[in-house]
Amino acid sequence: MADRAHPVTEQRHADLRSPLPEHERDLPVDVAWLRRRAKLFAVVSKREFHLVTDLSAYASVSGMPYLAHYAAQVYTGPKTARLKVPLMAINLQLVTTREEADRALAHETMHLVVPSYGHKAAAFARAQLLLDEVGQLTAALT
């Protein structure tokens, strides 16, 4: 099992642009902010999910180990019994800034919206669209 993502996937992920103002991008992530932000991604994607930061709880529910190098991961359940509401885990040891959180939320939400896309360029185009829509929704709310 690889301990890192493919370099192309890593680059596509790194290229995602957060709609946060520049002065907010490096602010630390706290759970309350992350939950509010996750709700925005759920709204724009029209795909509800439960957000967890307790990685052992995620591993317990999913039955899969949460690998230390994963910034985020989603679990939709076994093919024969999909969860009504998927589970998304964010590793706060790796996702330490709000910009990193935006990228992780967009990446994993993209997997919920278009799971068949994998890590193709089209998948990350969708992730960027989600980020852009979150930015538009945030602007509309302020």
Q: Which amino acid is at 13?
A: H
Average model confidence (pLDDT) across the chain? 93
Which pLDDT does position 2 carry in this prediction? 54
Which pLDDT does position 116 carry in this prediction? 85
Q: CA-to-CA distance for 129 and 124, rounded, in angstroms?
A: 8
Select from 128, 83, 96 the least CA-distant residue to 26.
96
pLDDT: is 71 or 68 the higher one?
71
Counting residues of the chain whose pLDDT is more than 90, the rounded percentage is 83
Which pLDDT does position 84 carry in this prediction? 94
For the cut 50, the answer to whether the pLDDT of residue 58 exceeds it is yes
